[in-house]
């Protein structure tokens, strides 16, 4: 298979009554594997969550905007947190990245077994104007896509369909990762919804189709009237942590409090859970 560049695309179908956002995220997921030393199971879990974050980020236009998704399903992987920013820049964290479960009977990676099914999905959306709003729903299946459909329906009152797929190869490399978000616009009619539902039924095996065709082929095959919208976003795993930010936080602390943080080498070590890096500061840095 030829290498597909990570990208986000948008399409209108049914006379602009249905908006489709697609995301190819293979390289991004491979970067997440490296950063968090993911197993095939946790690659599928975090890969799906990151891809969903990319799909949601396509709406962000303000520099300070961000969307944080937190999934806590009670399963062995623990909490999963992803943050999306403008420009399809995302970062993600999974509490127990080394969890690896046996494949399910149908040969698929056991995402719901790893995430758990008895818990919540919380999404905090800050469009950049200083009024973040959050919504929380019970998990439907722990398979991620269905859980986000529920969030869109209950919290955003937005009917939609979502498919997320992450294929992992035998060498624990992501072969292909992609997602599709189909949003029904308020002006849609019954027949548009019925049409979309019929297409969705036919794409149940999203991951199987992913291996065999590009996302463009997939859209044109399933939605022959699709019109591509100008959208040149390239998804990236990008963390915004920095020595400067840690310095600012530490400098705001009381001197005696700060003193307790120094280790035997006279350094303060801070860890970023998203990019899994240590940030080390010495007394000179904090003078
Ligand atoms: Zn970081």
Question: pLDDT tens digit string along 145-172?
Answer: 999 999 999 999 999 999 999 999 988 9
What is the CA(242)–ligand 1 centre distance, in A? 7
Q: Which residue has the tokens 């956002």?
A: 21
What is the CA(173)–ligand 1 centre distance, in A? 22
Dihedral pair phi/psi, residue 124, rounded to 5°: -110, 120
What is the CA(277)–ligand 1 centre distance, in A? 6
Dihedral pair phi/psi, residue 208, rounded to 5°: -65, -40
Distance CA 122, CA 7 (A): 26
User: Of 77-86, 182-191, 196-205, 252-261, which has the strongest mean pLDDT?
Assistant: 77-86
Which domains, ranges and CATH numbers included, belong to the chain? 7-237 (3.55.30.10), 243-282 (no CATH)
What is the CA(97)–ligand 1 centre distance, in A? 16
Structure tokens at 40: 């095939």
What is the CA(95)–ligand 1 centre distance, in A? 15
200 has pLDDT over 70:
yes
> Quick one: pLDDT band at residue 191, thresholds 50, 70, 90?
very high
Please name every residue paired with 271 in a beta bridge, in sequence order, or none if there are none: 278
pTM score, whole prediction = 0.93
Distance CA 173, CA 92 (A): 18
204 has pLDDT over 70:
no
What is the CA(32)–ligand 1 centre distance, in A? 12
What is the CA(102)–ligand 1 centre distance, in A? 31
What is the CA(115)–ligand 1 centre distance, in A? 23
What is the CA(6)–ligand 1 centre distance, in A? 21
Dihedral pair phi/psi, residue 279, rounded to 5°: -115, 120
What is the CA(238)–ligand 1 centre distance, in A? 8
pLDDT of residue 3: 67
């Amino acid at each position: 298979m030829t290498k597909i560049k990570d990208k986000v695309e948008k399409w209108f179908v049914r006379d602009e009554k249905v908006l489709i956002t697609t995301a190819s995220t293979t390289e991004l997921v491979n970067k997440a594997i490296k950063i968090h030393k993911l197993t095939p199971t946790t690659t599928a879990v975090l890969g799906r969550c990151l891809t969903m974050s990319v799909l949601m980020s396509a709406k962000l236009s303000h520099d300070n905007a961000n969307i944080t998704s937190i999934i806590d399903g009670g399963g062995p992987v623990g909490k999963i947190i992803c943050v999306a920013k403008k420009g399809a820049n995302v970062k993600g964290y999974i509490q127990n990245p080394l969890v690896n479960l046996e494949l399910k009977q149908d040969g698929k990676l056991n995402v719901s077994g790893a995430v758990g099914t008895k818990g919540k999905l919380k999404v905090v959306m800050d469009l950049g104007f200083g009024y973040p709003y959050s919504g929380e729903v019970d998990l439907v299946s722990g398979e991620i896509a269905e859980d986000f459909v529920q969030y869109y329906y209950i919290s955003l009152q937005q009917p939609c369909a979502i498919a997320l797929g992450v294929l992992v190869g035998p060498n624990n490399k992501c072969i292909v990762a992609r997602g599709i978000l189909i949003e029904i616009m308020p002006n849609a009619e019954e027949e548009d919804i019925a049409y979309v539902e019929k297409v969705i039924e036919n794409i149940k095996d999203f991951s199987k189709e992913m291996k065999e065709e590009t996302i463009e082929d997939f859209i044109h095959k399933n939605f022959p009237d699709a019109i591509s919208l100008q959208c040149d976003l390239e998804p990236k795993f990008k963390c915004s942590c920095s020595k400067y930010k840690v310095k600012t936080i530490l400098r705001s602390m009381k001197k005696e409090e700060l003193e307790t943080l120094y280790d035997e080498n006279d350094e303060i070590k801070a860890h970023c859970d998203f990019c899994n890096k240590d940030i080390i500061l010495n007394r000179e840095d904090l003078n």
